[in-house]
Each structure stands twice: as C-alpha cells, then as structure tokens.
Amino acid sequence: MHSWPPSSDCQRCYSNPRGGQREAGPGHGLVRPRRTDSGLLTLLTADASGDRVHGAAVRIPPQEGSPLDPETPLGANHRLLASVGAGASGEVWRGRDIRSDEVVAAKVLHPHHARDHEVVARFVAERSLLTGLDHPSVVHVRDLIVDDGRLAIVMDYLPSSARQVLDELGTVPPAAAVGIMRRVMEALAYAHGKRIIHRDVKPDNILLSEAWGDLEPTDVQLTDFGIARIVGDGDASTSGIGTPAYMAPELIETGQAGEASDVYSAGITLYELLAGRTPFGNAGTAMTIGLRHLRERPLPLDVPEPLTEVLDLMLAKDPEERPSAAELAEKLAEILPDCKDVPALEPLPDSELHQGTILKGVTPRPRVGDAAPSSPSSAPSLGHSASDTVLKPLQELPSAKPVVTPSEPPPRLSRRKLIALIAAIVLVVGGAAALIIPRVVSSQAGKKKTEVSAAPSATQADQPLPTGLTVSRSATYDASREQITLEIRYAAQNAPLTGPFLEVVPALGDDSSCAKVTWADGAGRAHSPTETGITAKCGWTLSPGTLGVQSAETVRATIPVTGDAPSTQDLNQWLSALAERTRAVITDGELQSTAYPVQRMTGIQLVAPPRVVSQVPLELTLLPVWPSGPDELNPLLHSPAVGRPTRMLTSIAGEDGVRFADGCGGALRVSPDGLTVSTVSIAPSCRVNAQVGNFSFVSSNEFVITARS
C-alpha cells in the first residue's frame, strides 16, 4: 500500500504505461503525438486515451513554420524555456515572464491552427472570456498571444498533474480522489454558470500545486478551458473534440455535448483515480471504446457506499439523470468524512475490462438469428490501425455478419453476386472520392491563397481590472488604404459597467508623438485634463455605452500610416505601448481624481461607526479606493440612502448593484432591497458584509452593538 500524500518525485519524467514518455514540467501530462512517415499527425491511435478526436486527420509537414527553441520570444513579454509535452491541439512549454521573471506555462497551438482564419478569429474572440475566468480551482489564463504566425495561451505554472500522480502511484486513496474531484466540480460549476463547457475533463487537465495534498481550492486547478471552442467549429456543444475514454454517451452517439457531458467525464476521471484505469479501458479504436460507453456498466469498486452512489450518478447513461456540477461539489464534500482513512485500492487489471454489465436497449442492431445483444468483443471492426481517426459523430453500428457454427459451412456468394458486390464497392469508393478530393484540393488552394494575402495583424489583452473590466486590443494593417484599423473591446464580468474609458494612443514606432486617430461612430473624443484633473498625453475618452453582465462592446478607429508598411511585430509592439501608456495613467498613485472610475477604482471600503446601540438604523458609508488610497471626500453611498445612487456608483455596479448582508450572526436586519441595515440585538463584535458590483466580498470594520442607556 503506498503512502499518502505522494513524494515530490511526481515532478520527474515518468514512463507512460500506455506507451511513450510523459514529461513533467507544468504538469499538463500531454503525450507527444506520433507521426507517420508521410507526416500525418496521428490524432487518435489505438491508445485512445492519449489524444483528442478532431473528426479528421490533420497533415502537418515536418518542417512547417518557424521552429520553437529555448529563449524563443513569445509576444513582447514572454520567452520559451523548454518543451514539456505535446497533444493534439498544441505543444506545451515552460516559459518566463520577462517583466516579473515568473515561470509560466505556454500552450502553443499547432501551426495549421494559426493559418486557419476562422480559428484565429475565435482565438481573438475568446481572449477576454478566458482571461476573465477567475476561480481558485481554474488555472488562470494570463494572455492569449498571436505572434509571428503562432497562437499561444499563457497560463499560470503548476508543477504536477493528476495524470502524473496516477503514473507514480497507480491509484489514489478515496479521500484524496474525492477531494480532488470536489475542486474539479467547483471549477466546472463556476464555468457552467458562465455557459462554458469544458469538453475534455481528464487527469491530464487537472493540475496540482506542490502542496496539493492539502486539497485547498488553489491546490487543484482545471485547465484547457476554451480549447474546444477555439480549435473546434466554434460551438462547444458540437465541435468534434474530446478524448474517447472520457466521452459521454450522448457525445459519442449524437455529437452533442452539454454540462452533463462534463459531469460524465469527471465521473470517468474519479473512477480512474480510484481504480488506476478508466472503467471502459483505453485500448482499442474509438468506436470500440465508444461502444463500451454506450452499452456497459463499469465494474463496481470496493469503496464506501456513499462514494459508489456518487459514481453511479455521475456515470448515468442518460444525461438527464446526472446531477449538476454544483450539486456534486456539495455531495463530494459531504461524503469526504466517509472516505477518511480508507486505503487506496489495488489497480484494477485490464483483464477484467469486459466483465461489466451489458445494458439492454442501447445496443446496436441485433445480429441475424440472435436475439441477444452482441458483446463488445463481437462488435464489427472499424479499423485495426493504431493511427485510425474517428469521424464524429459515431453513428449506429451496421449489422454484423450472420452467425455460423463449425458444423455448417459458411454461405458462399455466386459468381454473379460477387461481381455485383465488387462493382457496388467500386462505385461507393469512387463516388466518395469524387466528393471528397475536389473539396480537399479546393480547400488547400483556398488556404494557400489566403496565406499569401494575409495582412499583418496583432492582438493584445489586459488582465481583468478589479471592477471586472477586461480590455483587449487588435490592429490590422490595410496596405491598399495605407491605414491601421484599431479595435478596442471592453467586456464586463459580473456587473454592468459604464464608461467613459481612457485610452492612450501614441504614434506607431514613436512613443513621443501621438497617432492621428479617427474614431468610428463618434465613439471617441480628445481627453480633457481640465474636466478630469488627469494629464494624459495622446489620451482619448471613449464611450462604447453600457456593458451588460458578461457582455462586451467594441470601438473602432483608423490610423493612417506614412512610410514603410508595419510588420506584425511592429503592430504587437505598438499595441503593447498603448496598453502600457494607458496603464501608467490609470494606476498613477499621485492622482487625486474621480474620473474613469471603472478603470481606476481598485477597491471598496465599507465604514461603520465603531459603536452603535440596538434597534436603530445602522449608518454605513461606501468609499471608493483609488491607487492613491480611500477617498473620504467622494463617497459612493451613504446608507440609509436618500435619492438616486451616484453616477460613480452606477458606473461600476449598475442601478441595483449594491447589497448589504448580516455579518453578525443575526444581530442585524437587512431590508428586502439589501440597502438598509438595522441593529436588532447587542453584539460585542460585529461586521457588515456587502457586494458592490464585481467587488463580491466587501467587509466593514468591526463595531460593537450596545443596549440603549
């Protein structure tokens, strides 16, 4: 029986029992895909757990694109250090943020993705959504970079993964497995609340901190959100991406996925942590593994009964029968004490793979002369090659051959029937080729044409601000018009936000002068130091309108270019200059101004009197906190409030964005609208809590409630 928690040896390079080497590093646990002699990247091999299914093989020439080497720049702020693994969608590198010298993880998508204009468009569109994911159990995405023909996702670095732990230990004790999956379900519940489906939950995508044995929220983090939306067809519910060993039955059968599909994949992962392998195995083609998902029940495990019940719920064949991620997070927390001190199971041998229950009603069409459902081993072979790629969705299997016994000779085709059968096969294959080959040739020709004419472009995105504002910028050079089109996208997270917003726009290649900007639809006007009390050379005041919750608005401008045409690197440097110059102004701690509150406000201070009597309204004040500190001269709100909320408050929280809450265990009463607090009983130590827009956990100073004298 192995010890718990595991040793730090998890961080070395492990031998992958499914074949190949799995390297440690940032802990993404991705297996390097194999190439055939023709340069065809194998996206799904007989090891169906290792790679994702994209619906077709992808041809990548061996020497395509500029090579990635240690110290290769990635955007303006990062350098690659060492490759640590690769998967179907890209290669993972350990990198360095040259501004802070922090170690980061960078997932560089395969070159063919960077040449696909639709993928690039989705990549840019998903930037603010992915960088805005803010949950302790979700790996923080720092930036999405388009640079020198590469697409890269820069993330926080974590040293290990659940896959590496399985490789070292074989199985995980039930308490640890439940603790890990509790955090995963919390992460999924958060994502599902934002209408984001993961589509590829598995041990490789569960990253662990060095002290992960404590199982705190930040010790277990789920990664690879957004990959399905970016490199798929843009619709995470239908794009053909996933790992067959973890795919839900509805995804295999119809190609449709939803929140319940993530729950199923998480159930497979929980089973694997406990048993050392997935319930339906990893060997075989995608079709045979998919058949097991559709028809078999997994072998029961010798674990506490409450854990067995949770597994049964998560692995229900009908998605309607699976609980939500939020419900499962609570359920796993409840059963954690039942799993304490239960030792890890011995790894379940693959020899017991096909002993699970065969489910009736979800089998393929029965064999001729046989009323019983066929076993998985008798399913028709849909490709023995380890490099076969599965097309999505997996359709109902065709009828198998008639069953014959050794005592009766197999039926023989007449010569005429045999010739007819061969002719039919030739017609089918020829017809398919006639349909497919012209499309492939046309597609390749179209891609070559667009590659030649692609205009230099660049993108950049800021970290989300405390108010929930995310700003991303893109620039494209139009050689025919000799101008740059600048787009600035403002997005809100959990509260509506209203501008105006500040943007500093220096000239391209010359930070000392200002760009000549023409804003579309009158969205921008020159920044006024007199009105705002802020000096910002090359500053513009932009008014995109109110940003609804989880929505965005874009302002556009054109800038004429004189002289040489800018390259992609020039545009990247220019966008970085825009961001840095704007950031320098809004974070200036010497400013004494209330202008641009959505960008400049760093916090909220809730002030209560140090001593109050019971049975009276409680006077509360919300103060904005700027880079210079709390602002007592310009409060956001006095409670009890009279009249309409201040414009500064509505800009960061909307009309109804403030709610107070009792932090005294019943000593306070809060009005139904959440805006007025009254004392109801004495309390030696009391606080009021509040939510103000995106500021979710605002707490007052301590105060005392005394009896009336």
- Alpha-carbon distance 210 to 82, whole Å? 20
C-alpha gyration radius of the chain: 29
Q: What is the pLDDT of residues 175-228, one digit of tens each?
A: 999 999 999 999 999 999 888 888 889 999 999 998 888 888 889 999 988 676
DSSP state of 655: T
Is 514 a residue whose pLDDT tops 90? yes
Is 371 a residue whose pLDDT tops 50? no
Q: Structural domains in the chain?
A: 69-157 (3.30.200.20), 160-344 (1.10.510.10), 457-588 (2.60.40), 601-706 (2.60.40)
| Residue listed under structure tokens 């105060």 | 703
49 and 283 Cβ atoms separated by less than 8 Å: no
User: Residue 6 has what pLDDT?
Assistant: 47
Q: What is the pLDDT of residues 552-583, one digit of tens each?
A: 999 999 999 988 999 989 999 999 999 999 99
Q: Are strands 220-222 and 206-208 parallel, antiparallel or unpaired?
A: antiparallel
pLDDT bracket for residue 416 (50, 70, 90): low
> Cβ–Cβ contacts within 10 Å for residue 476, how many?
17
Output the pTM of the full model. 0.47
328 and 277 Cβ atoms separated by less than 8 Å: no
Burial class (CB in 10 A: 0-12, 13-18, 19+), 531: exposed
Which residues are the active-site residues? 200
Is there a binding annotation on residue 107? yes
463 and 523 Cβ atoms separated by less than 8 Å: no
Q: What is the pLDDT of residues 453-489, one digit of tens each?
A: 468 888 888 888 999 999 999 999 999 999 999 999 9
- Six-digit token string for 564: 């040489």
Closest CA to 690 of 463, 465, 495: 495
Q: What is the pLDDT of residues 78-134, one digit of tens each?
A: 899 999 887 767 889 999 999 899 999 998 888 877 777 677 766 776 677 788 888
Q: What's the whole-number mean pLDDT along residues 238-265?
A: 80
Question: Biggest alpha carbon distance in the chain?
Answer: 112
